[in-house]
Amino acid sequence: MRFAFLDEDAKKEIRRATLKAIAIPGYQVSFASRELPIARGWGTGGLQVTLSIITQKDSLKVIDQGCDGSVNAVNIRNFITSVTNVETTNEVDKASIIQSRHRIPEKQMQEGQVLVLQVPEPEVLTNVEANASKQKIMHANSDYAKLWVLLYEDTSQFGDSRIGNRYPVMVNDRYVMDPSPIPKYDTLNLDNSKALVLLGAGREKKIYAVPPYTKVEPLKFDDREFKVEDFSGQKCQRCGASGVYMDEVHVDNGKTLYYCNDTSYCDEFLESRNA
């Protein structure tokens, strides 16, 4: 099997699209998305980005739902290591590339690291404008009026946007971008990120990026607070951490318990407490 599965021409083309994406923060660059032995919608965009940038010296971490052991993360990690033999890790600090679905690691990533996010629906405008050519024009004109109307309607009815995850963000004061289905809690961590963030959508054949130290702001009215998921007053049942994104676990006796969603954070917190 060829190193990193894809043929060299494919990798070169994906890298070129990636470079363009980095040069225009938040702008969706089309690329010739290849068919992989992993199903469409299961992370093929992120996977192609990772396969095109990975080298023998890299150290890889793969997470899904905040967890290194989640079925899809295991599947993707096994596939990548089977075609590259690179070292893998669960620790954020030791990874040079982190591929993730639905979460940004709790532990802050550093300069030189790359976060690859898997994106199911890259087009932030789809819900307000289904026509692809009109979407393109709206982006070109930075015309996001329809998103603002949606936000206004939601706010007047429900007090806030109905969008829970994949909350639209303005990147570098120019393009509104779908940050992938991360919770609002994570959205704020995209702002001024030290690490390079690459977003890949395989089925929709788009790559886009947030370069290090780029301004990323959730779309909101000036007089409204951007409310993120709230777990205040809750502590992780396993490690005792608080102030992180949590999983609710409903146990048999009707009680609800909370655990860190980010399992490697939980492990590290537990270790540091026991040390």
Partner 1 sequence: MGYVAVKGGEEAIKNSLSFYDEEFKGDIKPKDIRESLSFAVDKIMSEGSLYSKKLSSVAIKKSAGDLLNAAFFLRAHRSSCARVGMAKTINTDDMRIIRRVSSAFKDIQGGQILGPSNDYEVKLILKKVANKTIWSEFISDDIFVESALKPLRNKGLIKELKKDREIADITRIFPNSPYPRSAVLQIMSRGEGGSMLAFAYTTMRGYGDVHPTIGDLRIGKCDVKFTHPFTSKEVKIAEIESTSCEAVGTLEKQEDGSTKLTTGYGFCFGFNETKAISMAILDISLYSSSHSIGSGSIASDFDMILHHIDGVESMGFTNHYKLPHYVTFQSNLQVLMNAKEHNGGEK
Among all residues, which ones are annotated catalytic? 26, 236, 239, 260, 266
263 is written with which tokens? Answer: 């399992």
Instruction: Kindly state the smallest distance separating residue 191's Cβ from partner 1, in Å.
Output: 18
Nearer of residues 170 and 266 to Zn ion, judged by Cβ: 266
Nearest to 84 by CA among 45, 116, 52: 52
Distance CA(237)–CA(259), nearest Å, equals 6
Q: Does 238 bind Zn ion (CB under 5 A)?
A: yes
Site for partner 1 in 13-32 (CB under 8 A): 30, 32
Beta strand ranges found along 172-270 (DSSP E) = 175-177, 196-201, 206-210, 216-218, 246-250, 256-260
Question: Should residue 241 be labelled a site residue for Zn ion when binding is judged by CB under 5 A?
Answer: yes
240 touches partner 1 by CB under 8 A: no
Rounded Cα gap, residues 7 and 45, in angstroms: 16
| Per-state percent for the chain, helix, strand, coil, to nearest 5 | 30, 20, 50
> Is 81 near partner 1 (CB under 8 A)?
no
Name the binder of 184 from partner 1, Zn ion, none, CB < 5-8 A by kind. partner 1
The reply on whether position 35 binds partner 1 by CB under 8 A is yes
Residue 251: Cβ-neighbour burial (10 angstroms; 0-12, 13-18, 19+): exposed
For position 236 contacting Zn ion by CB under 5 A, the verdict is yes
Given the rule CB under 8 A, which residues bind partner 1?
Answer: 5-7, 30, 32-37, 39-42, 44, 64-75, 78, 101-103, 120, 130-133, 136, 158-166, 181-185, 203, 205, 227, 229-230, 238, 245-249, 259, 261, 263, 266
